[in-house]
Amino acid sequence: MIGETEMESMYGTCRFCGQTRMIEAADQQDADIKATKSCTCPDARLARKKAEIREMVQDLCGAGGAELGFTEMTSEQADVVLTLAEMIVSGKAISAALRIADSSVKISTAADGELKFSRNRIESMEARI
């Protein structure tokens, strides 16, 4: 077909542990990327987890959060949340809680090992006469 990349079997190497595996890929670089994405070594699993966290933070702190009624965080604010989440998933911190934009953000590890992320906004009104 026109515009379709021909795939071939070749060995790809995980960039973290060096383990090789047979992969269907367009070229060596593609094979190495696919081998890394499918590798079960701790560093490759952590890299996949960090990529998922990046997506989640971008969604919940950015436009996705705005769709839910939260104020969209600036890129600098979202970077702080992302850094804290990556530290927690890497075992460098246990949990984090902060007030940022219009909400409070709590990040921790749940009992099952999953990253727990919550963003809450409490609206209140007070009047005095």
Q: What are phi and psi of 61, to 5 degrees?
A: -100, -15
Q: Show Cβ contacts of residue 123 under 8 Å, excluding neighbours closer than 6 positions.
A: none
Position 59 pLDDT exceeds 80: yes
| Residue ranges covered by each domain of the chain | 8-38, 47-120
Q: Tens digit of pLDDT for each residue in 62-103?
A: 888 889 889 999 999 999 999 999 999 999 999 999 999 889
Per-residue pLDDT band for 6 (boundaries 50, 70, 90) equals: confident
pTM: 0.77
